[in-house]
Amino acid sequence: MASVTASGVGSGLDINSIVSQLVQAERAPQETRLASKEALIQARLSAFGSLKSSLTTFQNSLSALKNVDTFTKRSATSSDNAVFTATTTAAAAAGTYSVKVEQLAAKHTIASQAYTDSATVVGSGVLSFSQNGETFSVTVADGEDSLTAIRDAVNKAADNTGVAASIVTDQDGAHLVFSSSKTGVANSIQIDVTPSASDTGDLSQLAYDPAQTSPMSQKAEAKDSIVVVDGFTQTSANLKFEGMLEGITIDVKTAKPGESLSLTVKHDTAAVKKSIEGFVTGYNSLIATLNDLTAYNPEANTAGLLQGDSATRSVANRIRQEMGTLVSGLDVDLDSLAELGITTIEKGKLKLDATKLTSVLDADFANVAGVFAGENGYATRLDALIGDITAGGGILDNRTAGLKQQVERIADQRETLTRRVASIEARYLAQFSALDTLLGQLNATGTFLTQQLDNLPGSVFKK
């Protein structure tokens, strides 16, 4: 059965309130100290998280610059994108080429004579389609030899090489139409017909041979695309030309026979410049974070959360050291950031001279790769350094692990404080309960004595 405590019965004192205030006075200073200490540690953990995030963001800005392929890209520019466009690989030679798009590839389309309607019987037998060196056959059976049935049989043929059948009705009747699904002369359609012995119609009306007069008529000629580059002619079964110029793929869109357009291929300096700008921005963001976390304001007597921290100071020094180290093994005229137009300004940040960078990229593009992506290039070295700093077991990981241990110790100290305060509370309750009992006894004794005195004859005169 739970005990019931009735404090202050004998004395009239609010023992629970008194004990609570005494316990709170005992606990509050130490609890405040622990809370303040934990808040500072948590704030420093958050600060290290911000630092690590800034380092990772800067490392991401290095990904393109540390890749040699970034500096081997070429850009291709057409003087008329409506006529043709082009893409390149690193194998493309820089230069300007004359391009004429003489003809676009087209699909082959042939059509039958006019029939009354789609249900009209054509005839039975075997249709053999030839296309680009491949053949497939369709058997047309008696009773399944209408325009509709033949169309469906061709379209459903499992080995169809790329022939689409349809029915087109115009003013003179219904026509069975066969179209190649692919462009190019090689994909033109030829049809051989073998009528069946029981053929009640005339299936031979669907025969087509481009080399001789045929019952079927050509509606659209199969064509190859034709381009002329610097006087050399090439054809393609589709709208794409690969290999005519090494490392360059030309996609034609509109034919303009006889009209000479230009294709300009050059180093993709715009992409490299954008990556370098991202490098400067990423570094400045990192330095701003470091400055904020380590700053000290003597007037306000305030300091950043990581001001004076040895790990943070080490990180800042190592990064600045790498930024200030020249790239070994390169031409002395291009082995530093300054020679690319990147200089240091106030508070350790970088400033980019876009005009100077453009000039260097235009004049010495090939050697810029070594400044960043070489074995000792800035992007290569900084990426490795940041990877080491942010890795598990690295300097930041060890530092945050130590702070987390301090938080755990504070939790242990709180538990100890809670147990000690509980002990103090129990002691105070015991002491005040004893006092309450004693006062109760004294009150009872006083009351008894007063009653006895009142009963003495003649000793007390009452008014």
Task: Tell me the C-alpha to C-alpha distance, in Å, between residue 334 and each of 64, 270, 274.
Answer: 20, 19, 19
| 3-state percent breakdown (helix, strand, coil) of the chain, nearest 5 | 45, 25, 30
Helix (H, G, I), strand (E, B) or coil at 107: strand
pLDDT, one tens digit per residue, over 261-275 is 999 998 888 889 999
Please determine, for residue 3, whether its predicted confidence score (pLDDT) is greater than 50: no
Q: pTM of the prediction? A: 0.64
- How does DSSP classify residue 187? G
pLDDT, one tens digit per residue, over 272-297 is 999 999 999 999 999 999 999 988 87
pLDDT, one tens digit per residue, over 380-399 is 999 999 999 999 888 989 98
Please determine, for residue 446, whether its predicted confidence score (pLDDT) is greater than 80: no
pLDDT at 38: 82
Cα 419 to the center of its chain, rounded Å? 51
CB 38 within 8 A of CB 407: yes
pLDDT at 451: 79
Average pLDDT, the chain: 88
Task: Tell me the C-alpha to C-alpha distance, in Å, between residue 431 and each of 15, 19, 358, 393.
Answer: 10, 10, 86, 54
pLDDT, one tens digit per residue, over 203-250 is 999 999 998 899 999 999 999 999 999 999 999 999 999 989 999 999
Which is more confident, 9 or 54? Answer: 54
Q: Please count the other Cβ atoms lying within 10 Å of the Cβ belonging to residue 112.
A: 22
Instruction: Show Cβ contacts of residue 435 under 8 Å, excluding neighbours closer than 6 positions.
Output: 11, 13
> In the predicted model, what is the mean pLDDT of residues 152-168?
96
CA distance 283 to 280: 5
Please determine, for residue 59, whether its predicted confidence score (pLDDT) is greater than 80: yes
Q: What would the two tokens of residue 301 be?
A: 């007597």
CA distance 153 to 161: 14
